[in-house]
Each structure stands twice: as structure tokens, then as C-alpha cells.
Structure 1
Amino acid sequence: MEEHFVIPEIVDAWSKLDAPWRDDPAVRVMAMDRFAGPLGDISDSRVAAMDAAGMDVQVLSLAPPGLQILDTADAVALQRVTNDRLAEAVRAHPGRLQGFAALAMSAPDKAAAELERAVKELGFQGAMVLSRTREHSLDHRDLWPVFEAAEALNAPLYLHPQTPPLAVRDTYYQVDDPGASTALSLFGLGWHYDAGVQLLRLIFNGVFDRFPNLQVISGHWGEVVLFYLERIAEGARFVNALDRPLIDYFRENMYFTPSGMYGERYLRWTVEMIGVDRIMFASDYPFMAPPEAGMPDYVTHTGLDQEAQEKFASGNWERLTAGIKR
């Protein structure tokens, strides 16, 4: 369910942005030959690639940097275009493709309305959101209408990493080799730290206290945060503003996927901390190659028992989406 696509109109909009909003590192990655072709294909070739990897269903989502770096007018116009285009692909491949809506988060009320349309009219399974909407972090109170709509619909939001702000990239991730700088600021580390901080901001700024039934999915095994959870929880004891112990937000409001990080140690740690009812499979297509022996072989060799394997492969997702109010 972290399986990406892009349409030409979005690529064109990205190319026309001025600094500081233009996300050059991410856009360069999306334009690489090895990714641009698969990202632009949501037809029979996509399904053939799924067959080759042993994947029955992909939940497609707009690739980063998505709509949230665009100016509001463009984002609002393109959210409907993007979602309608994705809906066509889903209709053309019933039972194989599903959809996450792309949302113009800079216009929260319109994004909330589009989420409702995408779920109720297009049959989507929720939405994918990125860490920030221009200068606003995801927890910013202006964006809360989207959380309100998602909770009312019982529709999950998948939080995807976003390139850190330019000042952060220049301060922390700039090294002599430009290619290494890009890698460090994106998939090397910067994406994951940035998204992990956003998960914590949702907790500490009261989003889950205001919307206690909101469900957020986090890729890459919790974007580093999950592996420091005991340490973070220790510090959270000094925070009086939370309604619940920190661990409860992770176990009651979040799900976690590998996003192509197939290491069994990551999986075992996540299960130990959160439990098998909160893990879901995701491959991060087309950015991560499938396991050499295919998806089914990976799932059966996780060390999970049969019931847990079924929950991880599809059962938890089916249970979550069965509760969406359409």
C-alpha cells in the first residue's frame, strides 16, 4: 500500500515551481529512467509486474513530493484530476488495484471534501499525506479538517516521508558529493527522520486526542521512531498534556509497514513493540525491488506463525478498510 504512480500534469506542475518550494532532490529521483517509466504506468504493465512479484493487490498513491508543495490553486485543481485518473485505472483492473486519494492539504476544507468524494464516489481506501504542506507541519491546526473527515469516514491516512526543508538539508545533509547529499537528505536518512518527527508531532500537538479514532499508517517500520520508542516514552512522562500513555497512540492509532525494508529484525522489533494486529505489508514500488524469491516467500519466511502471516499479508488491511463508512 505504498505503491506509487504519477501523471504528466503533476510532473509539469513540479517543474514550474520556484525555490524554496521546488523539491529538486525528490523530483530528480522521480525523473530517473528506472523510476519514471513504472511511475507513469498504471495499466496492464503494472499488473504484470505485480504478477511477477507475487503481489495480488496494490494500493496506488501519488508519488512524492505530491500536491503539498504546490501553490493552493494548482493543488486544488490537480487533486481531482489525479484522483479521477487513478479511479479509471482502478476500474480497469478490479480486484488488483485500489487507491489512496491525493489531497490539496493547503486548502483543508477542499481537501476534506475531496477525501469524502474519493471514498464515497470513487471507492478509495483513504488518502496518502506527506509530512508538511509548504511551511506547515502535518499537525498544524489549519489542517485538522482533513483529520476530522478521515475520522468521520473511518478512512486511514498513510503518512509518507517528504524531503526536509532546504535549510535543514543545507545544515545537516550537505556533503562534498552532490549525489551523496541527495541520498542523505532523502532515502538515506532525511526522509525518515522528517516523517518520524511528524508522527510525534501528531501525538504531542493533540491530533489523536482530538480525533481518538483517527488511524495513520507509517511506512519504513515507523520512520526510525519505533526503534527509539522506549526512550521517547521515557521522556514523555514529563509531558502532562497527553490524554494517554505514549505507547497507546502507537498501538491504537497507528499501523506500520516495511515499505520495502525486508529485514526480519525490523519486523520482529515492530511486532514486539506494537503487536501483529498493527503490521501491514508494503513494497514501495517502484523504488524498492521485490524480494528475490517474491512477496509470498518473504511473508512465509518472516518467522511469524500462519495466523500472523495472514494478518501481515492482507488481513489487517482488509479488517481496517472493511470499517470505512461509504
Structure 2
Amino acid sequence: MSRARRIDTHQHLIPPRYADWMHAEGIRPGGVDLPRWSEGSALRFMDGHGVRTGILSLSTPGVWFGDDAQARRWAREINEYSADLVRRRPDRFGFFATLTLPDVEGAVAEAEYALDELGADGVVLLANNDGRYLGDPGFAPLLELLDRREVTTFVHPGELPAPEVPGIPTFTADFLLDTTRTATSLILSGAIDRHPGIKFILAHAGGFVPYISYRILLTMLSQKSKARQAWTILDQGHQVPKLMEVFKRFYFDIALSASPAALPSLLEVAAPDHITYGSDFPFAPAPAIAFLNRQYEKYPLDATLRNAIDRGNGEALFPRLRA
């Protein structure tokens, strides 16, 4: 069955030296303690949850903390660590290369090195980088490279450029808003139209994007015409399917989002061949992943679509994993 062959596009690694760095800085990603991770623990998790291959990525906070040179050193170390892991276990692991945004020059150089020399399966970008979202014109040189090379680009949320709310961990809602902001930035800036070759995977079912898709459409229209005209166009209805096509350009993983509350919105908005399985291991503990997997497995999906989410859509993004 497809469950035993899943391709997990949202799985993280935490190299030992990077973990030491985070602990020394007192950083708690998403407002939680940095979990323990090892190659062995990842394989045990995968074997117990039907995952054949995990595409590994570094999670927030990434490597940039105001020092470009430091970020470049850490990105190179993490990418070489990841590439070595994949070389030893190419059937079980892939990796998204860590870049250095908002250092654009460093990000372009590291993307080229990781793709050409290390065989990266794609790149990972944080939704915001020092408060700048991915539609920012300053990021155009990197997006042009990723577009030209048709790179699969995993977009993971980071800390919002705003104060935390006491008592609410940032992973609870802020992460979802961060992803929503950057997807909206890509749409409203026109970057999604200018760079059609980039295969953006939005983490956690796109945050709030599916649920507020019509609000985003209204914003798109109000930029081009008066708000009343925008309402009229939406109310007529016949243009709505065409306008909604912009959301079908994104890919969406189902990490921590395969619930009976979230799946209907996602399935209404996403293209069926643009949804991938995701776990969020090890930041999501195995029992939580098992619970959401059960919700997903009992959700009434067509067998063809379930197979596509579990594996087929991942194979299309990463042809080397085709059986």
C-alpha cells in the first residue's frame, strides 16, 4: 500500500554542531526546545510511519543572524553534512540546501554549489528573512536562478517580524501566518508570474492560504481596480475559477495539517498533483504525527489521490526516487 512508500517532503535534520550552536545561543525555534535528532532516530521514525524517503531540510531559524560570512560558513557545513548523509543512504534521504537570505549574493553562490556539486534535491527558504518576504524585489536574483533551473523550493515559516504573544508558542499560529504572508507576497508582487519554473512547496498546507484564498483574490483585484469593482467581479462568479488558478501553482505539504478541519480547504484550493506528504519530524513528536496520520488515513480520499499525495507527487518532484 502507498503508506509504506511515502516520500516525506517536510522532514528536518539537526546536525550535531548546529544543535550545539543553537543551544549556546539559547534559541528555541518556534518557542519550543530544540528536539534531539540523529540519522538513526530519523530512520526509526520513518520505518514506523510508512516513510520510505525523507527530504531533509534545516528548520527555522536557519543560519543568518546578521553576519553574512558566518551564515555562509554554516550553510556550507550543513549542506555538506546533508549531502554526505544522502550519498550513504540515497534511497532513504534527500535534502533541500540551506541558503543565506537575506544575503542574496551568498544565497545564489550556495544554491549553485549545492545543486551542481552536492546534488541537492532543491533548496529551502524561510518565509521571511530579516522581515523581508519572498516577493521582495531585492530577492529577484535568487528567484531568477531558481526559476531558470526549475528548482523545487521548500518554503518554511520562521519567526514573525513582530513581538511574541506571551503564553502562545510561535509555532501555534505565527508560523502559519508567516507562510501566508510570503505566499501572498509572491502573488501580489507578481513574482509567482515572473518565475513560473520555481516549484514552491508551502509548509503546513500553506498556513492560512487555502482558508483565506478569496480574501487574497479580493486584494489582487483591488490593486487593479476599485474595491467595488472587485466585489462585482467576484460576485459574478464566472471569473473565479480562472483567478483561483494562481493558487494551483503552489505545492502544499500536509505536515501537521491532515485534519478533518484543514483538509477540505486544502483540497478545494490545491491542484491534486501539487499536494505532498509531510511529517515535520523531529519538531513534531512521533505520537503527534501518528495521531494526524490516523486522521489522514481515515479521511475519505480517492485511492488515486491518496497514492499521489503519499508518493506519486513526490516522485514527479524528485524523479530519482521513482521506483
TM bracket (short chain):
0.7 to 0.9
Q: Distance in 1 between matches of 2:43 and 2:311?
A: 18
Alpha-carbon shift at residue 47 of structure 1 (Å): 1.0
In the TM superposition, what whole-angstrom CA distance separates every residue of 1:266-320 from its partner, at most 9, and x where no partner exists?
223211222311111101001223554795x665433221211111011112112
What's 1:177 paired with? none
The Cα of 1:86 is off from its aligned counterpart by 0.6
Distance 2:257 2:99 in 1: 26
- Contact conserved, 1:262 with 1:291, CA < 8 A, in 2? no
Alpha-carbon deviations, 1:92-113, whole Å to 9, x = none? 2120011000001233133123
Give the Cα–Cα distance (whole angstroms) in 2 for the partners of residues 50 and 15 of structure 1: 26
**Percent of aligned pairs with the same residue?**
25
Deviation at 1:10, TM superposition (A): 2.9
The aligned residue for residue 200 of structure 2 is 216
The one-letter amino acid paired with 1:29 is V
Distance 1:240 1:225 in 2: 21
Write out aligned runs for 1:211-290 (5 A). Answer: 211-240=195-224, 246-252=243-249, 254-288=250-284, 289=286
Residue in 2 that maps onto 1:46: 42
**Contact 2:279/2:289 (CA < 8 Å) preserved in 1?**
no
Q: Is the 8 A contact 1:159 1:216 kept in 2?
A: yes
Pair 1:275–1:139, CA change in 2 (3 A): closer
Distance in 2 between the 1:217 and 1:195 partners?
10
| CA positional deviation for 1:235 | 3.2
Deviations 1:75-125 (A, max 9, x none): 111111100001111112120011000001233133123222222332221
The partner residue of 1:141 within 113, 137, 142 is: 137
The 8 Å contact of residues 59 and 100 in structure 1, kept in 2 or not, is answered as yes
Q: Which runs of 5+ in 2 are unaligned?
A: 1-8, 226-239
Could you tell me which of 191, 194, 197 is aligned with 1:207?
A: 191
Q: Distance in 2 between matches of 1:298 and 1:53?
A: 13
Q: Aligned runs of 1:291-310 on 2, under 5 Å?
A: 291-292=289-290, 300-310=297-307
Q: Shift in Å at residue 190 of structure 1?
A: 1.1
- The residue that corresponds to 1:20 in the other structure is none
Asked whether 1:111 is paired with 2:107, we answer yes
Q: Give 2:182's match in structure 1, choosing from 191, 198, 203.
A: 198
- One-letter code of the match for 2:32? V
Counterparts of 2:251 and 2:307, CA distance in 1: 15
* CA distance in 2: counterparts of 1:261 and 1:247, whole angstroms: 21
AA partner of residue 49 (structure 1) = F
How far does residue 12 in structure 1 lie from its aligned partner after superposition? Answer: 4.9
Name the TM-score, length of structure 1 as normaliser.
Answer: 0.82
Q: Which moved more, 1:130-139 or 1:87-96?
A: 130-139
Total equivalences in the alignment: 295
Q: Which amino acid aligns with 1:248?
A: E
In the aligned structure 2, how far is the partner of 1:279 from the partner of 1:87?
A: 25
Give unmatched runs, 5+ long, in structure 1. 18-22, 175-179
- Residues 193 and 208 of structure 1: is their aligned pair in 2 closer, same or farther, counting only changes over 3 Å? same
For residues 147 and 229 of structure 1, do their structure 2 counterparts lie closer, same or farther at Cα, with a shift above 3 Å needed?
same
2:133·2:181 contact (CA, 8 Å) conserved in 1?
A: no
Q: 1:5 aligns with which of 6, 13, 27?
A: 13
Q: Distance in 2 between matches of 1:83 and 1:293?
A: 32
Letter in 2 for 1:193: L
Pick from 85, 88, 91: which aligns with 2:84?
A: 88
Distance in 2 (CA, whole Å) between partners of 1:209 and 1:227 is: 22
Q: Find the counterpart in structure 2 of residue 97 from structure 1.
A: 93
* 1:26 maps to which of 25, 29, 35: 29
Deviations 1:160-193 (A, max 9, x none): 111112xx225xx23xxxxx24x1xx11111111
Alpha-carbon displacement from aligned partner over 1:218-265 (angstroms, at most 9, x marks no partner): 111111121011222133222229xx965222112x111111222034
